[in-house]
Amino acid sequence: MPKLPAPPLPKILQPKPQRPGTTVEPEHGPLTEGAIATVDWIDERTSLSGGIRWMLFRKVPRGINWFYTLGSATMFAFLSQAVTGVFLAMYYRPDPTGGAYESIRYITDQAFLGQFVRGMHKWGASVMVILIFLHMARVFFFGAYKYPRELTWIVGVTLLILTLVMGFTGYLLPFDQRSYWATIVGVNINGTGPFIGPYLSDFLRAGPEFGANTLSRFYAIHMLLVPAAIVALIGLHLYLITKLGISAPPWLKAEDEPEVIEASEV
Ligand code: HEM
């Protein structure tokens, strides 16, 4: 594959040529100059701009459309869940003897913007599930899962399962009648799965019966285990996407003129 040249630095970050002994009048306001100097200072010591350019300034195929934004939309739904989840965790208590239910009531009725943040987290969960399915449908109907993107698809399937696990484990946390009984049904359904089913339901319940540790188990899975796995897998997903490039829409015809490839690159 012919190598594309590195994309240029954004104009604002390109250094101007300077004669020795002359002083250059600043082109921007003090705030912008300060920001540029800070970015320069960090980049001189880390060379991070190369990596950021590799990640952000990319060529995309002709003819891509709004359907290609569904993956990023899913990612922003996840980020919103992460931010609102952190604020909920500041008040939530995973205490099955009434503390969990009370802490949720406190968030909803008394904490500053609590009802808003809880509402965003609750509705955001459904938004993320809808977006992930739409993104998967786009990838499927555009045939974007085919060679060489099979691994991107497999990582995606794992992300889908983990997203559903987030929904399932989060549902128990308010610890009201509905979430309690719905989770018992859900854990029992898991238990009927072949081979690993009984082990899975024992793991989820933190024992053979739904008990005092079940809520802590669900909380740990919901706010530590699965989000960490999702962050790592989104990183891998994005790495593969940047490495392989976005697939062209299936209706795009091949160019009439075949691309000239240098003999040394064949
Ligand atoms: C948390 C969940 C997910 C996030 C944040 C995510 C993010 C993204 C992003 C940003 C892209 C770039 C292009 C686009 O948006 O269409 C992409 C592409 C892709 N995703 Fe996902 N994705 C997720 C879940 C999934 C799932 C569930 C699947 C399939 C089972 C999947 C398979 C793919 C494939 C094959 C591509 C390459 C598409 C192409 O090159 O045209 N992803 N993903």
In this prediction, residue 10 carries a pLDDT of 74
Ligand 1 atom closest to the Cα of residue 67 is 16
In this prediction, residue 266 carries a pLDDT of 47
Is 153's C-beta closer than 6 angstroms to any atom of ligand 1? Answer: yes
Is 157's C-beta closer than 6 angstroms to any atom of ligand 1? Answer: yes
User: What is the value of pTM for the model shown?
Assistant: 0.86
Is 104's C-beta closer than 6 angstroms to any atom of ligand 1? Answer: no
Q: Where are the alpha helices (DSSP H) in the chain?
A: 30-46, 48-56, 70-89, 99-109, 114-141, 150-172, 177-191, 197-205, 212-220, 226-244
Q: SS3 of 69, please?
A: helix
Cβ-based neighbours of 180, under 8 Å, separated by 6 or more: 172
Residue 126 to residue 162: CA distance in whole angstroms: 14
Question: Could you read off the pLDDT tens digit of each residue along the chain, which spans 266 residues?
Answer: 566 666 777 777 777 777 777 777 777 889 999 999 999 999 999 999 888 888 888 888 999 999 999 999 999 999 999 999 999 999 999 999 999 999 999 999 999 999 999 999 999 999 999 999 999 999 999 999 999 999 999 999 999 999 999 999 999 999 999 999 999 999 999 999 999 999 999 999 999 999 889 999 999 999 999 999 999 999 999 999 999 999 999 998 776 555 555 555 54
Residue 167 to residue 157: CA distance in whole angstroms: 16
